[in-house]
Structure 1
Amino acid sequence: MMWILVVLAFFAAVVLGVIGVIRARNLQYWLPSYLRQCMSRPSADTGDNITVYVCFADHYEPFGGGNDTARAREKVARWAEKYPTLASRHVDSFGGHPKHTFFYPIEEYDAQILDQLGDLERRGFAGVEVHYHHNNDTAEKLKAALVGFCNTLRQRHGLLRADGDIDPAYCFIHGNWALDNSRPDGQWCGVDNELGVLVATGCRADLTMPSAPSDTQTRKINSIYAARGVDGKRKSHDTGRDIRVGEWLQPGELLLIQGPLAFNWRRRKAGLLPKIENGEISHDAPPSQDRLRLWFEHAPRVAGAEQHVFIKLHTHGAEDETMNMLLEGGFESLWSDLEAEFRDHPGISLRYVSAWEMFCKIRDLATSARGAR
C-alpha cells in the first residue's frame, strides 16, 4: 500500500511541476495551438520555386532607458552611418539590399531623428512605421494620437503613403505587446476594441505578435490572418480568419502578420527545457543557423500560395547591447546565413522586404485568382 502512495505522490509532483512550468512561461495561451500545428502542419518544403520574404521589424526606442535627446540622436546617427555600409554588402535573389523597418514610438517624436530615418528609407535601406506605448487610455485619445503622428510623418517628413482612399496608411506594433488591451491586468493599453481604432485611422497591418512568453500572447500562432475588433471586448485578435488566395480583408478587419513561434530543442535551459523561439534578435539571442531553420519551418504562408514564405523577425535595435551586437557582426552573420540558406539554394529565392512591402505582397497573393507564382 505504501509503494502505491509513493508512486501517486511522485506522479502528482510531476504533474504539478509541469503545470508550474507551463504557467511560469505562459504556455497555456499557445501550447495547444502549437501541438495541433505540429501534428497537422505539412512539410515546410513545398518543392521548387519557393520565395522567402524576410522582414526585420524594430521596436525602435532611442529614448528608452531614460536617454536624453543628445544620447538618442547619437544612437540614431550611428545607425544612419553604419547600416547602409553593412547592408550594401548583401543582396537577395533580386539584387535588393536588406531593409530595416523602424517602428518609431509616437511618444518619442523628434524631428531630427525622423529626418535621419526618413533618409535611410529614401535610400532604400529602411522603412518607417508606427509604434506606441500607452496606458489607461481611451479610444478618443488613442485616435487623436495616431492621426496626429501619422499626419506629421506624412506631411512633415514625407513618410508613410497613400493606399487607395486611405492617406496616410501605416503598419503598427503595440508597445509592451498589449495590443487590443490584451494584458489580463489591463495595463499598457486600456482600449477595448483597439483593433477598430487602428482600422479607422489607416492601419493596414499589425506586426506585434508573437509576444511569448508574455501573457499577451494569442492562441493564434504562426499565422497571417484577419481579425475584427468588438466593442467592449479585449484581445479580439486571439482568433481570426486565415488569409487565403481569393479571400482578402472584409470591411472593418485588420491584417495580422505574425512571426515564428516554436520550441528550440537545440537550445535548452539546464539541458532539459527547450527555449522559446519567437523570432527576436537581441544581444542574448543572436541569429544562428538552427534558429533560421525554425523560422522557415514555422513561418506563416497564405493558403493556396504556400510557395511564398513570410519570415517576420523583431528586435529592440536602440538598446545598447543589442545595437552593438547587430552593427558589429550580428547583421553580417544573419544576412550571410539567410543568403547561404535561401538565395544560394536551388529552387529557393530570397527577398528582403520592409513591413509595408510584406503587407503588399500578402495582399497581392490574397487578391489574385490563383496566387502569384
Structure 2
Amino acid sequence: MPSWLLQRGRANLRRAPFASGTYGFGDNGVKHLVFAVCDHYEPLHGNVTFEQGLERVMTWRRRYPEMARRFRDANGRLPRHSYFFPGEQYDPRFVEPLAEMCAMGLGEVEVHLHHDGDTRETLRAALEKTLRDLDAHGVVPRHPKGTPAWAFIHGNWCLANARPDGRWCGVDDEMELLYELGCYADFTFPSAPDPCQPHVVNAIYYPRGDVRRRRAYEDAELAHVGMPRRDRLLMIQGPLALARRPGKRALRPLRIEGGALDAHDPPTPARLDTWVRQGVCVEGRPDWIFVKVHTHGAPEDNAEAVLGPKMAALHAALHERYNDGTRWKLHYVTAREMFNVACAAMDGKTGSPGQYIDHVIPAPPRAASATKLAHAS
C-alpha cells in the first residue's frame, strides 16, 4: 500500500503537465497506449490428459484468429498475444499451432517455467532445453550477437527464490542466470496478494545492486529517458491498483486489481480505464502508457473469457476510448515489442512507439513477415 500510494503521487505529477499541454513530444500532443496480453499458457493446467491439452491448443488456433481479425490498432496491426509456454509441458504438437499464429502476425512465443528445488546447474539445463525446443519452431529471436533472446514469466510467481517457504524455485541468483542465457526482460509481476509480490509497483525498472541475491527485484532503478541499458533484466510490470468491486458490496467495497483476465474476473471497459490510470511508463515519457495484462488462457473457462464476447468488448473499448487518433493512439504489441518500445523511450526516441517495435530485439524467424501479413485484408 505505501508503494502504491507513492506511485500514484508520481503518476499524478506526470499527468498534470501533459493535461495542460506543456509536454509537446513531437506527436501533436497525442498519448499512446502500448497494450500487451501476456499469457501463462499452460495446456496441461489442472493435470489434464494430453488429449485435453491438445484440444485446448487447437481451440485457440481456431478461435483466436477469428476474434482478432475484427480489430486493428493505429498502425493497422491485429491484436497480438504473447504465449509464455511452460518448458516442462513441451510437446511439438502444443507449440506448432502457436508458431503458426506467430507467422500470421497474431503473437509470439516466450518462456515460462515451473520448477522447484533446483540448483543453478539443473535450472540452466532446463532453460537451455526449453530454448532448444522452442527454437525448433522458429519462435526464438536472436540478440545482435546471435544468441537466443527471450522474455520470461516465472511459474508460481517465484522469481529469484522469492517465497518465504522456499518452494517453487531454489535458485537465489536466478535473475543473473536468466540474463546469462539471453533473457532480456521479466514480465512476472504483479502477483499480489501472493507473497512474491515486490514492493515496487506500476513500474518499468532495473534491479539495483547485486542481482545474485534472493528477491533481487525488490530494489528498483526506475527506467527513464536517457538511461543507458544495464547488464541485467528489465522488469516490466503490469498495472496494480485498488478498485471498486462490481455491484454493491458495502462490507468489502474495494479489491486488488492486478490485470488478470480469467473466468472469475473477465475483461471489462471499466477495468481497462483502471489499468490506464496507473500510468505505467518510462519516466520522462508519460505520453507512452504501458498496459501489460495477463491470463492463464489455456483452460476452457479462461479461454472463453479471453476468446469470447467479453474480450471482443474489451477490444471495442480500446478502440473507442484509446484509438481516436487525436487524443490517443493504440498499439498492440507482444512482450518483445513492449520491451523494444521501453528501450526506445530510454533512448530518447519520440513520436509514435509503433516505429520502435523492433528497436533492439528483432522478430523471431517465424514472424519475420508477420508485419506484412498483419496488414493483409
TM-score norm. by structure 1 comes to 0.87
Q: Percent identity?
A: 36
Change (3 A) 1:229 1:118: farther
Aligned partners of 2:227 and 2:346 also within 8 Å: yes
Query: 2: CA distance between counterparts of 1:166 and 1:230?
Result: 27
Choose which of 40, 65, 90 in structure 2 pairs with 1:84: 65
Query: 2: CA distance between counterparts of 1:314 and 1:272?
Result: 28
Moved more, 326-335 or 215-224: 326-335
Query: 2: CA distance between counterparts of 1:227 and 1:151?
Result: 28
**Which residue matches 1:258?**
237
State the one-letter code of the partner of 1:53: V
1:39 aligns with 2:9: yes
Unaligned runs of 5+ in 1: 1-30
Aligned residue for 2:142, secondary structure, equals: strand
State the one-letter code of the partner of 2:65: P
Distance apart, 1:151 and its partner CA: 2.4
Moved more, 102-111 or 283-292: 283-292
State the one-letter code of the partner of 2:340: C
Structure 1 residues 106-117: aligned runs within 5 Å:
106-117=87-98
State the one-letter code of the partner of 2:58: A
1:347 aligns with 2:321: no
CA offsets, 1:151-189, max 9 Å, x none?
Answer: 2212x1111111211521000000000011111111101
CA offsets, 1:251-284, max 9 Å, x none?
Answer: 2x21000000010035488424301000011111
Provide the aligned C-alpha RMSD in A.
Answer: 1.7
Change (3 A) 1:34 1:267: farther
**Which residue matches 1:174?**
154
Change (3 A) 1:86 1:191: same
1:293 aligns with 2:273: yes
Moved more, 290-299 or 94-103: 290-299
Aligned partners of 1:365 and 1:372 also within 8 Å: no
1:208 aligns with 2:188: yes
Query: 2: CA distance between counterparts of 1:174 and 1:247?
Result: 26
Change (3 A) 1:166 1:219: farther
Runs of 4+ in 1 over 6 A off after TM superposition: none
Change (3 A) 1:278 1:231: closer
**Which residue matches 2:132?**
151
Unaligned runs of 5+ in 2: 20-28, 353-377
CA offsets, 1:185-226, max 9 Å, x none?
Answer: 111011101110110010011000000010110000000001
Moved more, 97-106 or 284-293: 284-293
Query: 2: CA distance between counterparts of 1:228 and 1:36?
Result: 19
State the one-letter code of the partner of 1:52: L
State the one-letter code of the partner of 1:335: H
Distance apart, 1:327 and its partner CA: 2.0
How many residues are treated as equivalent by the alignment? 340
Aligned residue for 2:196, secondary structure, equals: coil
**Which residue matches 1:357?**
337
Choose which of 212, 224, 227 in structure 2 pairs with 1:244: 224
Aligned partners of 1:173 and 1:207 also within 8 Å: yes
**Which residue matches 2:355?**
none
Query: 1: CA distance between counterparts of 2:144 and 2:79?
Result: 27
TM-score norm. by structure 2 comes to 0.86
Aligned partners of 1:193 and 1:229 also within 8 Å: no
Query: 1: CA distance between counterparts of 2:64 and 2:279?
Result: 26
Aligned residue for 2:148, secondary structure, equals: strand
Query: 2: CA distance between counterparts of 1:359 and 1:210?
Result: 17
Query: 1: CA distance between counterparts of 2:248 and 2:240?
Result: 17
Aligned residue for 2:281, secondary structure, equals: coil
Change (3 A) 1:232 1:366: closer
Query: 2: CA distance between counterparts of 1:272 and 1:177?
Result: 30
Q: Which has the larger radius of gyration?
A: 1
Aligned partners of 1:295 and 1:311 also within 8 Å: yes
Structure with more contact order per residue of length (Cα contacts < 8 Å, sep ≥ 6): 2
State the one-letter code of the partner of 1:142: L
**Which residue matches 1:66?**
47
Aligned residue for 1:66, secondary structure, equals: coil
Moved more, 238-247 or 200-209: 238-247
Aligned partners of 2:191 and 2:197 also within 8 Å: yes
State the one-letter code of the partner of 1:347: R
Query: 2: CA distance between counterparts of 1:296 and 1:363?
Result: 20
- The structure with the greater share of residues assigned to helix is 1
